[in-house]
A = this chain, B = another copy of it.
Amino acid sequence: MASAAVIGVGITPFGKYQEQTLVEMAVQAAYEALKDSGLRPGQIEGGFFANALANRLFGDGTIGQNVFWEIGLNKIPVVNLENACTSGSTAFYLAYNAVAAGQAEAVIVAGAEKMWVPDFGLINSGESELETQLGLVAPASFALRAVRHMLEYGTTIEQLARVAVKNRSHAQKNPRAFFQKPITLEEVLAAPLIVDPLTRLQCCPIADGAAALILASPALAEKIGRAVPVRAAVLCTGSYENPQDLARWETDYRGCRLAYEQAGIGPEDLDLVECHDAFTIAEILHYEALGLCPPGEGGRLVSEGATELGGRIPVNVSGGLLSRGHPVAATGVAQIVEIVTQLRREAGPRQVPGARIGLAHCMGGDKAGDTKSFTAVVLGG
């Protein structure tokens, strides 16, 4: 039984918005979510704000207080979360725990990131780690995984590229996605090589953007209506494994398993998934961790069209990180916003017909090696 429900969502367009500040974007999404919920500001009892990079890029911290104050929420506990690419979903996890525990009747969750700044350099997660300094930056780490998957399971570069083509075709139907121009398999393969075998179109772009939502207790949600129940919210932190298995993250499998247990469902019950396609290979690895197909068959799953809109289990109908864009701390919230929008049957041309249950899946971490966080949130039903 759900212990909380999402009763309002808001999201800005993702992309390059140099004229907007981080706070402005976050306020826009938060205001939209509050308005969508129909609640008055005084009914919100807590705020969870996620941001990963502003302290570093602008020297700004403690942003949530300012964002929520701007929409009239000024006497509530506010916390600021950072958990790399899982910042937004970690904020959701804590917010869900607070509502599920009866510690609040309604809370707001927002995630925002501003990355297109004039002096933006390369940001490496785990920059101060030895292995990163030695060259194992994020694209390299994922490229190694891709090569390993190809070796072990015969996955092809065309299958990898298919992920990018599919998510771009989804993004064409999402007016808030960063990249909406269609791309072909040939274009993905011919794009500049970042780390062999990953071309530029197989790596997600940085972006500016914000997303927000309102979580409420089941009792309040019932009064409000249009609520989407939360069936599971899981956060797992990974471990180094020795020897590392580059074709799977053990923690990813564990996180997904826990989410299914908590939700009382299996992968066969899902109608759609938003997953953390930071690189094309990542989406394929996540298919397997999520149990959408057996280990090793992720490449085939995408090339057969099963994860396209209209397929057996559509993945990243929003466009995903690859085409909607990846404003780090906004992503985890945006994925949940997409699932909620779909389950409310409000997704327009990208609507998954009959969508009842969806899963939002995120991965983030500081080590190029393996100390990563994984989150999985199951909604609907």
Contacts and interface: CB of A to CB of B under 8 A. Distances in A.
Nearest to A79: B90
Interface string A39-73: 00000000100001101101111110110110000
Contact of A62 (B65, B125, B254): B125
B240 A69 contact: yes
Interface of chain A, main secondary structure = mixed
Interface of A: 47, 52-53, 55-56, 58-63, 65-66, 68-69, 74-84, 90, 93-94, 97-98, 100-103, 123, 125, 127-128, 235-240, 251, 254, 364-367, 371-373
A78 to B, nearest CB: 4
A59 B127 contact: yes
B66 A366 contact: yes
Contact of A128 (B60, B103, B239, B373): B60
A62 B366 CA distance: 6
A188 to B, nearest CB: 30
A328 to B, nearest CB: 10
19 contacts: A55-B55, A56-B56, A58-B128, A61-B82, A62-B364, A62-B373, A65-B365, A65-B367, A65-B371, A74-B238, A75-B237, A76-B236, A76-B237, A77-B373, A79-B81, A80-B81, A80-B83, A82-B82, A97-B103
A82 B372 CA distance: 19
B81 A239 contact: no
A1 to B, nearest CB: 16
A340 to B, nearest CB: 23
A237 B77 contact: yes
